[in-house]
A and B are shown apart, each in its own frame.
Chain A
Amino acid sequence: MLRLPPFQLEEPKSLYAALVLLAEAKGQAMIIAGGTDLLPNLKHRLFEPKLLVSLARIEGFVGIELQEDGALVIGPMTPLAQVAASELVQERAPALAQAASLVAGPQLRTQGTLGGNVMLDTRCQWYNQTYFWRQSLGYCLKKDGTECHVVKGGQKCVAAASNDTAAPLMTLQASLCFERLNEKRELPIRDLWSSDGIWNKRCDQDELLTSIRIPAQEAGHRGAYGKLRTRESIDFPLLGIAARMTLADDGTVSDAELCGVALAARPSLVRGVSEALTGTRPGTDEFTSGLESAAQLAYKQLRPVDNVPGSAWYRREMVPVLAKRTLQAAARGDGPVHPL
């Protein structure tokens, strides 16, 4: 078995205590939620923190709450399995419930959390490997090295955002609450991401994600998530697409949106999807041709690179297929689209 490096573990019982620990550590600490991604990464020597601050014992970090304005507020330590099984989430944010249901496998969804998935480190075939393997390679831009093996001569890390839940949270216009000692801010998830694969988030590593808020969606909200992966379980996405659609009272599309993940460092919204579909009625030829247009928009805009395992060519070819099938599923009110 791979060995964990030595580190100190703190398990504060209150948010305040956690914030104090993080402040005192001055950037030398890491936050551990479910640990399903962090622990393998520690074993691979991708991180070498002196201190891990566990969120497991902090009160009030688990739960899904419906607010008076119809918003859902989800605690960061809520297990993915709970998000997937929640009737509230299934009803009000179906794409999120579906994405959560497809993260890894059942055991990991029980241990892994929504907050952890949002804050997941980016992934790359040249990075998520053991120390021995990376040493034999000569390392890479993201960790210990100077060269990118995905883009020859590349100066920017293109490791992929591989969090399934990021895509639906983008389409749902979720906002995130981050806290630091004596500091609290609300950040729309659409403003979270940067294109730097080394750290793809516009927040500091010692900021703590304390809640995820999904605003009330319009009446007629539909959503679905589609996931491409090698096997029907376990695997990270080779491509993930979330679809959001609003159906007006007359049954026609009044708004639609697509967001792709596992492409590059940030999840990407597809431009022009609403225009392609608005006014069409599911089941008609117009809707079908709107789907084709939306799929082509996705094909043009979402360009996977050879960062995660598997062929970038195939992932790209699957973009329009997954986009279309996920929009169809949203229109029908079903999903997830998995396997394709």
Chain B
Amino acid sequence: MSARDQHGLAAPHGEFQIIGKPQRKIDGATKARGSALYTDDLCLPGMLHAKTLRSPHAHARILSIDTSAAQALPGVHGVITGQDMPTPYGVIPWTPDETALAVDKVRFIGDEVAAVAAVDEDTALCALDLIHVEYELLHSYQSPQDALERNEPAIHKNKRGDNVSKRVQLDFGEVDKAFETSPVVIEGDYSFHGSTHAAIEPHCALAQVDGNGLLTLWSATQITHYVHRALASVLDLAPHRIRVIQPAIGGAFGGKSDPFSLEFCVAKLAQITGRPVKMLWNREEVFYAHRGRHPMDMHYRTAADESGRIQSVDAKILIDGGSYSSFGLVTTYYSGQLLTGPYDFPTYRFDSTRVFTNKPPCGPKRGHGSVQPRFAFEVQLDELAVQLGMDPIELRRRNSIGPQTMTVNGQRITSCGFDECLEKVERASDWKSRRGKLEQGRGLGVAGSMYISGTNYAVYPNDMPQAGIQLKVDRSGVVTVFSGANDIGQGSNSMVAYVVAEELGLTLDMLRVVAADTDLCPVDLGAYSSRVTFMVGNAAIDASRKLRKLVVSSLAEHWEIEERRVRLVGGEALDLEDPTRHMTMAEAFQIAEVKHDTLGATGSYNTPTLGGDYRGGSIGASPAYSFSAHVVEVAVDEETGHLDVREVWCAHDCGKALNPTLVAGQIEGSVYMGIAEAIYENHQTNRFGLHAGPSLLDYSMATTLDTPEIKALIVESLDPEGPYGAKEAGEGPLHSAIPALSNAIFDAVGIRLRHLPFTPEVVLRALREKREAERQTASPGNNP
């Protein structure tokens, strides 16, 4: 980390003009009017359409593939199988266990086996029917327990000969001693089911090879840079002969973070056929691509003293990874490493094991790896509060870690607005006067959480910056920002526009943002781990300040005044002390261009050295952490088990809201997603190993009618290293919504739901068990 990485909290000109005020998204109007171009909107002359042949078996060896009949079908231009691209890849370079198409084995129903490019989709589909694949069926692993207990046949080869994808065991302090000496211990089993992103836009990729052999790939990806690297490796093509572009994208939520089969297939088919090739997955295929939330079975123990101070936490977690590694190495670390705030505890241990199963591969979904442990732990904290007879908000306050601290696993906390988050939800929900006094069947629950604003673990080790920005100036006054960041709807393109406009005193209509194009934009590592606002925002300030310096010094010389008198604001340059002296920014840029030649600037950001001094200590180490607290109000129908989530208050510490409207949108979206996956969604396979319902009818996501009232409460702790103090807002506000719901249900009807999802059936069964238990205690025979 260097000086370029920290820019202070202050506005460039005393008072913020754009930052911190509600602004429109720069691409809002084009998306609302339908004129934004998504990958599937792109059509090139002579373009072919490709489709994928998938495995109908959950686990099988491929004995032979005969593509001759498909090749011979009129209208078919290319057929490829795993043998055409056998080089394995993986988004994490240490675990390359995927191939573009299956080479020797298939590992879940829906695994990709072959691809066809034809004049249209119907012809491609007909050709798929003509491909003959001979399989030898293998034992299919449908539960993580089975995969843990049985080794043969292994889903992937590894040195140990087992089905373990990754195991992480970390100990911090004397855990056993803490449990022996603590007066209160809560212990229990918890589980989290699978869920998927279900972004509106299905995955789509289009490839073209031009006359010079340059391969261009347009893809709905949230990490252009890794796709670029993976393509080069798998196609064995020099990276400088590949260009990757992300057009407008219809949502991602982590589900477009891996390189996907279709990206390699269209590229290879474009090379083979000499024609542009597009592939658009249908909804079913998106469900098979998955990379969604990992199901986890979690055992937690928490030790505390009588005042409620946590003394130790001990977790054992079994993670169902599905069929490939994806980000699984990181998931396994995150399942333990991200739990150590917002509460301070002196000792901690976790033992997390990710196993492979023959199901669609799991990966990163909003709140990667930490939503599940957070659920278990925050429910356990509620149990602790009940045991101690303590208000659960008070319990959390008592354990709050606070700013400028270090967690037990060596994560540096800078800013921390968690106490304010608790206070805000407590007040907004009228907690003190309403909790425990609501009518029968209605209750309030609370939970808290912490999340990263990016990580200094750069996926592939390198010392180059994590984020870059380039500015280009036009004599018209327009500044074009070249940003490597992937705008996946979160508004990163708007964010860089706000920052550059603020720094250069421009109005937003003077900004153009060109993003996520590897030929045009500097490298950014992508839209994941909530890193973009923090890192790209800092890089944008860095670049803007370099450019501003050139302009201000030129104007000072031109007007023969001191630089401090020059202000750039609202599209104009002016002399603070002489109101008659002012000019448009276009004129100002021209004056600067005379002095400095063609204007431009670059900016970068890199993380400081962070994390504990142990293997894996940098995974989960973030330059800044966000904090959230939720209060959920629920009404439970005790006859049907139906949950009516009446209202959710979410207070989120995002450091500084660069655009409060977008921050509130992220909070609302996160709460929506959390509550929906807790009640309605379940990504699972059935007894045949088939996806239980790969459609938006069977995989029921909450509609607007099923969505609670959401109150987004913004907390600004002003992080010393964030851009103007900003931290993340896109993932943190999901976490504690789910345990707060479970805790609210307990408050409402006295059932403790430790296993997701909370379907009406689950709630009803728990209510009946409780009634049965009460009946038995109340019956005369049991009276003391």
- Chain A residues close to B by CB (< 8 Å): 1-3, 105, 125, 128-130, 132-133, 135-137, 230-236, 309-311, 313-314, 317-318, 321, 339-340
Closest residue of B by beta carbon distance from A135: B56
Which B residues from 681 to 707 make CB contacts under 8 A with A? 688, 690-695, 697-698, 700, 702-703, 705-706
- Set B122, B691, B703: member contacting A231, Cβ < 8 A: B703
- The reply to whether A2 and B282 contact each other, CB–CB distance below 8 Å, is yes
- The reply to whether A132 and B284 contact each other, CB–CB distance below 8 Å, is yes
Q: Residue B293 at the A interface, CB < 8 A? A: no
- The reply to whether A132 and B54 contact each other, CB–CB distance below 8 Å, is yes
Residues of A within 8 A of B283 (CB): 2
**Bound Cα distance A232, B280 (Å):** 31
Given A135-B56, A136-B57, A233-B705, check contact A321 B640 (CB 8 Å). Answer: yes
Residues of A within 8 A of B56 (CB): 132, 135-136
Chief secondary structure at chain A's binding surface: loop
- Set B640, B690, B764: member contacting A136, Cβ < 8 A: B690
Q: What distance in Å separates the Cβ of B604 from its nearest Cβ neighbour in chain A?
A: 42
- The reply to whether B57 and A231 contact each other, CB–CB distance below 8 Å, is no
Given A2-B284, A234-B703, A321-B639, 13 more pairs with CB closer than 8 A: A1-B282, A3-B122, A133-B694, A136-B690, A231-B702, A231-B706, A235-B697, A235-B700, A309-B692, A309-B698, A314-B760, A314-B761, A339-B644
Closest residue of A by beta carbon distance from B51: A3
- The reply to whether A232 and B698 contact each other, CB–CB distance below 8 Å, is no
Which B residues from 59 to 114 make CB contacts under 8 A with A? 109
- The reply to whether A133 and B691 contact each other, CB–CB distance below 8 Å, is yes
Total residues of chain B contacting the partner, CB 8 A: 36
**Bound Cα distance A45, B690 (Å):** 18
Given A136-B57, A230-B700, A233-B703, check contact A318 B640 (CB 8 Å). Answer: yes
Q: What distance in Å separates the Cβ of A198 from its nearest Cβ neighbour in chain B?
A: 21
Which B residues from 254 to 282 make CB contacts under 8 A with A? 280, 282
- The reply to whether B697 and A234 contact each other, CB–CB distance below 8 Å, is yes
Chief secondary structure at chain B's binding surface: loop
**Bound Cα distance A231, B674 (Å):** 16
Q: What distance in Å separates the Cβ of A278 from its nearest Cβ neighbour in chain B?
A: 26
- Set B644, B691, B693, B760: member contacting A309, Cβ < 8 A: B693
**Bound Cα distance A234, B54 (Å):** 29
Closest residue of B by beta carbon distance from A232: B705
**Bound Cα distance A135, B280 (Å):** 22
- Set A105, A125, A340: member contacting B698, Cβ < 8 A: A125
- The reply to whether B280 and A1 contact each other, CB–CB distance below 8 Å, is yes
Question: Most chain-A CB neighbours within 10 Å: which of B121, B694, B703, B760?
Answer: B760
Closest residue of A by beta carbon distance from B125: A3
**Bound Cα distance A311, B763 (Å):** 13
- The reply to whether A232 and B706 contact each other, CB–CB distance below 8 Å, is yes
**Bound Cα distance A2, B125 (Å):** 10
Residues of B within 8 A of A2 (CB): 282-284
Number of A-B contacts (CB under 8 A): 73
Given A1-B280, A3-B125, A130-B284, check contact A314 B697 (CB 8 Å). Answer: no
Q: Residue B680 at the A interface, CB < 8 A? A: yes
Residues of A within 8 A of B697 (CB): 128, 234-236
**Bound Cα distance A1, B759 (Å):** 30
Residues of A within 8 A of B474 (CB): none
Given A3-B125, A133-B690, A317-B764, check contact A232 B703 (CB 8 Å). Answer: yes
Per-residue contact bits, chain B 30-73, to A (CB 8 Å; 1 contact, 0 not): 00000000000000000000000010110000000000000000
What are 7 sample pairs from A and B whose C-beta atoms fall under 8 A apart?
A129-B695, A133-B690, A136-B688, A231-B700, A233-B703, A235-B697, A235-B700
Q: Residue B13 at the A interface, CB < 8 A? A: no
Q: What distance in Å separates the Cβ of B359 from its nearest Cβ neighbour in chain A?
A: 13
Residues of A within 8 A of B680 (CB): 230-231
Residues of B within 8 A of A235 (CB): 697, 700
Residues of B within 8 A of A3 (CB): 121-122, 125
Residues of A within 8 A of B305 (CB): none
Closest residue of B by beta carbon distance from A4: B122
Q: What distance in Å separates the Cβ of A134 from its nearest Cβ neighbour in chain B?
A: 9
Q: Residue B383 at the A interface, CB < 8 A? A: no
**Bound Cα distance A309, B693 (Å):** 9
- The reply to whether A136 and B700 contact each other, CB–CB distance below 8 Å, is no
Q: What distance in Å separates the Cβ of B15 from its nearest Cβ neighbour in chain A?
A: 46
- The reply to whether B284 and A340 contact each other, CB–CB distance below 8 Å, is no
- The reply to whether A231 and B705 contact each other, CB–CB distance below 8 Å, is yes
7 tightest Cβ-Cβ pairs between the two chains A and B: A232-B705, A136-B56, A314-B761, A230-B700, A340-B640, A233-B703, A311-B761
Residues of A within 8 A of B121 (CB): 3
Q: What distance in Å separates the Cβ of A220 from its nearest Cβ neighbour in chain B?
A: 29
Residues of B within 8 A of A125 (CB): 693, 698
Per-residue contact bits, chain B 440-453, to A (CB 8 Å; 1 contact, 0 not): 00000000000000
Q: Residue B642 at the A interface, CB < 8 A? A: yes
Given A3-B122, A231-B706, check contact A340 B54 (CB 8 Å). Answer: no
Residues of A within 8 A of B644 (CB): 339
Q: Residue B637 at the A interface, CB < 8 A? A: yes
**Bound Cα distance A129, B764 (Å):** 29
**Bound Cα distance A114, B764 (Å):** 34
- The reply to whether B109 and A136 contact each other, CB–CB distance below 8 Å, is yes
Q: What distance in Å separates the Cβ of A295 from its nearest Cβ neighbour in chain B?
A: 11
Given A313-B761, A321-B639, check contact A133 B706 (CB 8 Å). Answer: no
Given A2-B282, A132-B284, A233-B705, check contact A137 B700 (CB 8 Å). Answer: no
**Bound Cα distance A309, B697 (Å):** 10
Residues of B within 8 A of A129 (CB): 693-695
Closest residue of A by beta carbon distance from B676: A231
**Bound Cα distance A329, B284 (Å):** 40
- The reply to whether A314 and B764 contact each other, CB–CB distance below 8 Å, is yes
Q: What distance in Å separates the Cβ of A254 from its nearest Cβ neighbour in chain B?
A: 28
**Bound Cα distance A310, B759 (Å):** 10
Closest residue of B by beta carbon distance from A1: B282
Per-residue contact bits, chain B 345-360, to A (CB 8 Å; 1 contact, 0 not): 0000000000000000
Residues of B within 8 A of A128 (CB): 697
**Bound Cα distance A318, B121 (Å):** 45
**Bound Cα distance A333, B399 (Å):** 55
Given A231-B703, A309-B693, check contact A133 B284 (CB 8 Å). Answer: yes
Q: What distance in Å separates the Cβ of B1 from its nearest Cβ neighbour in chain A?
A: 48
**Bound Cα distance A1, B122 (Å):** 11
